[in-house]
Amino acid sequence: MGDFKTPLSKVRGLGSAKDGTHHWWVQRVTAVANIPLVLFMLVSAVGNAGKGHADWVAWMAQPVVAVVVILFVANLMYHLRLGLQVTIEDYVHTASTKVALMLLLTFATILMAALSIFSVLRIAFGG
| DSSP symbols for 43-98 | HHHHHTTT--HHHHHHHHTSHHHHHHHHHHHHHHHHHHHHHHHHHHHHH---HHHH
pLDDT at 5: 76
Q: Which fold has domain 20-124?
A: 3 helical TM bundles of succinate and fumarate reductases (1.20.1300)
Tell me how far apart the alpha carbons of residues 46 and 102 are, in angstroms, rounded to a whole number.
Answer: 36
Confidence (pTM): 0.82
Evaluate whether 10 touches 66 at the Cβ level (below 8 Å): no
Tell me how far apart the alpha carbons of residues 63 and 77 are, in angstroms, rounded to a whole number.
Answer: 21
What is the block-wise mean pLDDT of the chain (127 residues), using blocks of 10 residues?
70 63 93 98 96 94 96 98 95 95 98 97 87
Distances (CA, A) of 123 to 7, 50, 64, 101, 117: 59, 20, 13, 33, 10
